[in-house]
Amino acid sequence: MSCADDVVAFVALGANLGDGAAALRAAVHALDTLPLVRVVARSSLYRTAPQQSRGPDYWNAVVKLHTAQSPDALLDALLQIEATMGRERISGAVNAPRTLDLDLLMYGTLHRQTPRLTLPHPRMALRAFVLAPLAEVWPEGAIGHVPVSELAAQRIAEGQAIEKLGPF
């Protein structure tokens, strides 16, 4: 797929129930088979302790996409992939353990805040488990004029432990 309307988007992947690494690999495959979506880069696989929650360690990664889908259609597709892979969204359960979590981090340069979707993702600059893999697939990237790699280093220096496991 390639067209003049392609937008670069970034999606964070996480899982801490079941075989998290396999879930992330399956999710990347599912993303790459969506209409008008192509995975163009994927980070290494990372392991992190849960933040502001309990449960097993998380497996994390970020992918870079080219897409001609709208942000809402892409969000719908992400939610469908989560559901297909067994994600249950329990009302009021924030940061609960999950089989798969797919977060749309950025959609081109779009800034948007609706009840359903905020872009860029409002908490991505606070999370080493997002920033470290994001820096791999977007080395020239910056959030608020601060390089993504610098933000990742700051979060790690603040005590957010993250372990790079290698390719997945």
Give catalytic residue positions: 87, 98, 101, 103
Residue type, 114: T
Q: How far apart are CA 10 and CA 120, in angstroms?
A: 10
Q: How far apart are CA 11 and CA 51, in angstroms?
A: 19
Contact status, residue 66 vs residue 1, Cβ threshold 8 Å? yes
Length of the chain counted residue by residue: 168
Q: How far apart are CA 53 and CA 36, in angstroms?
A: 35
